[in-house]
């Protein structure tokens, strides 16, 4: 047995089998590349489910983590620490005026957002407590987020579902409006559905949802766990929403995960101050949330993205990628469509291709498959144009030779 096979055997014995792991041991990463334990090199077009938004071991992030590790790791939220304030200030600068709560994951950020929504709804009469979300959505794996998620496979085996969560068809405004009753507290939606297959909404849909929320006193949560931090060619995915007059569409609460940690565990709930004020001492918390090392890295992610103009870079590379994928004659027979925004791209295949990720590895790329037929690309947003073209060549070869 090779050394790699031995490691895999050890892993199979002691790791729970809730992930369909590939038979590869990843050992090292640098920029957009990762190497396995046998020295094979891969261009990473999925960035650890979007977490490594600046690629692997970015020198500025390594320096931020190392510097902070020599200063202070964690004291708990009974004290002020500066790195988390710096992060919250950056969110005010790049998103909208608000206040931040820090935790470790997207799921926890969404839990906090729903709790806050209920606190707000509890002030009305009758009390508002129910949430609406969409089919094909994904919001996390806690019991409440399983109930919020619009995917029967995620819910299966975990009944009874947490009450108060209903899903409607994404993009169907009339169905959404009809589902609101006097007890509805809020709506949670991803600006682009990620796990559901890179699904966008009809133009104007988000603006109409915003108006509905205003009219019925509902809290609007944008789950930006996938779409935050420049990935979509905007700082945040909701920034591509506009009403018919071009006015932007803002949420009451935005949740973040994945990219904000650059590969470390960071989740953020960011809320308009009138609403966040309801989260008074004792109402919510997270022991290690906002630990100084994660926050120093998070702050640096925003700074690198701004300094290196990576939002614009992602938009430009995304357009180039979509145009290549849409015009490539070699894959036309196999593809329904290529869609997405920025460096968040889904290629919907005509037929299921369960082995396509392994095939990608054989072509030297890391890609992902979701909803059985949708190949997802979410490379580090600082991937170079040359690397991106090299990756697209390999994606096209992989699909052409399924």
Residue span 257-276 as binding mask against ligand PMP, x where in contact by CB under 6 A, dash where not? x-------------------
Task: Please identify, among the stretches 21-29, 32-40, 106-114, 228-236, the one whose residues bind ligand PMP according to the rule CB under 6 A.
Answer: 106-114
Q: Measured between alpha carbons, how far is 146 from 92 in angstroms, rounded to an integer?
A: 30
Q: Order of strands, edge to edge, in the sheet holding 365-366?
A: 26-30, 33-36, 41-44, 365-366
Round to whole Å and give the CA distance between 290 and 293.
8
Residues 6+ apart with CB under 8 A from 187: 131, 132, 133, 176, 209, 212, 213, 218, 219, 220, 221
Cα distance between residue 373 and residue 74, in whole Å: 43
Nearest CA to 51 out of 287, 222, 289, 231 is that of 231
Phi/psi for 75 (5° steps) reads -130, -10
Strand, helix or coil at 359?
helix
Query: What size, in residues, is the chain?
Result: 402
Could you say whether residue 105 binds ligand PMP (CB under 6 A)?
A: yes
Tokens of 295: 């926050």
Q: Which helix (H) or strand (E) holds 29?
A: strand 26-30
> Whole-number minimum distance, CB 144 to ligand PMP, in Å?
12
Contact (CB, 8 A) for 60 and 304: yes
**Alpha-carbon distances, residue 379 vs 273, 366, 385, 389 (angstroms):** 34, 9, 12, 12
- The only residue of 94, 129, 138, 241 in contact with ligand PMP, by rule CB under 6 A: 138
Closer CB to ligand PMP, 33 or 236, in the complex: 236
Q: Which is nearer to ligand PMP, 83 or 140 (CB)?
A: 140
Among 53, 100, 221, 225, binds ligand PMP (CB under 6 A): 225
Q: Quick one: 335 or 375, whose CB is closer to ligand PMP?
A: 375
CB of 105 to ligand PMP, least distance (A): 3
| Token output for 132 | 């609406």
- Would you count residue 226 as binding ligand PMP (CB under 6 A)? yes
Q: Which of 90, 118, 136, 139 binds ligand PMP (CB under 6 A)?
A: 139
- Cβ 379 vs Cβ 45: under 8 Å: yes
Site pattern 228..257 for ligand PMP (x: CB under 6 A): -----------------------------x
Q: Which is nearer to ligand PMP, 190 or 252 (CB)?
A: 190
Q: Which stretch binds ligand PMP (CB under 6 A): 13-21, 219-227, 230-238, 371-379?
A: 219-227
Per rule CB under 6 A, is residue 31 in the interface with ligand PMP?
Answer: no
Asked whether position 111 contacts ligand PMP by CB under 6 A, the answer is no
| For ligand PMP, the closer CB: 221 or 335 | 221
# of chain residues touching ligand PMP (CB under 6 A):
14
Q: Contact with ligand PMP (CB under 6 A): which of 29, 48, 98, 140?
A: 140
Question: To the nearest whole angstrom, how small is the minimum distance from the Cβ of residue 108 to ligand PMP?
Answer: 7
107 binds ligand PMP (CB under 6 A): yes
Name the site residues for ligand PMP (rule: CB under 6 A).
Answer: 105-107, 110, 138-140, 190, 194-195, 223, 225-226, 257
């Amino acid at each position: 047995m090779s050394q790699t096979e031995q490691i895999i055997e050890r892993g199979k014995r002691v790791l729970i089998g809730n992930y369909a792991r590939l038979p590869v041991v990843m050992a090292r990463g640098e920029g957009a590349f990762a190497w396995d334990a046998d020295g094979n090199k891969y261009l990473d077009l999925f960035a650890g489910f979007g977490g490594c938004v600046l690629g692997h071991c970015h020198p500025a992030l390594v320096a931020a983590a190392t510097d902070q590790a020599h200063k202070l790791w964690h004291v708990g939220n009974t004290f002020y620490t500066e790195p988390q304030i710096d992060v919250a200030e950056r969110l005010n600068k790049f998103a909208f005026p608000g206040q931040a709560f820090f935790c470790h994951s997207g799921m926890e950020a969404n839990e906090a957002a729903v709790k806050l929504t209920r606190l707000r709804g509890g002030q009305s009469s009758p009390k508002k407590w129910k949430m609406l979300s969409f089919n094909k959505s994904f919001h996390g794996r806690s019991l409440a987020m399983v109930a919020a998620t619009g995917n029967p496979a995620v819910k299966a085996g975990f009944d009874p579902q947490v009450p108060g969560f209903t899903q409607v068809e994404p993009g169907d405004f009339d169905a959404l409006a009809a589902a609101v009753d006097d007890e509805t507290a809020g709506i949670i939606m991803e600006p682009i559905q990620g796990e559901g297959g890179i699904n966008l909404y009809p133009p104007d849909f988000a603006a109409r949802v915003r108006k509905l929320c205003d009219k019925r006193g509902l809290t609007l949560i944008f789950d930006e766990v996938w779409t935050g931090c420049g990935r979509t060619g905007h700082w945040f995915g909701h920034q591509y929403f506009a009403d018919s007059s071009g006015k932007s569409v803002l949420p009451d609460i935005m949740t973040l995960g994945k990219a904000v940690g650059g590969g470390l565990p960071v989740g953020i709930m960011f809320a308009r101050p009138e609403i966040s004020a309801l989260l008074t001492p004792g109402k919510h918390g997270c022991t290690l949330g906002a630990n100084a090392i994660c926050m120093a890295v998070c702050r640096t992610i925003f700074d690198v993205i701004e300094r290196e103009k990576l939002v614009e870079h992602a938009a430009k590379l995304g357009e180039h990628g979509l145009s290549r994928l849409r015009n490539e004659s070699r894959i036309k027979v196999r593809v329904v469509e290529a869609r997405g925004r920025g460096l968040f791209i889904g290629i919907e295949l005509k037929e299921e291709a369960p082995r396509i990720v392994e095939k990608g590895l054989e072509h030297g790329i890391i890609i992902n498959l979701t909803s059985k037929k949708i190949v997802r690309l979410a490379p580090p947003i600082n991937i170079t144009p040359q690397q991106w073209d090299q990756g697209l060549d390999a994606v096209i070869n992989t699909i052409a030779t399924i």
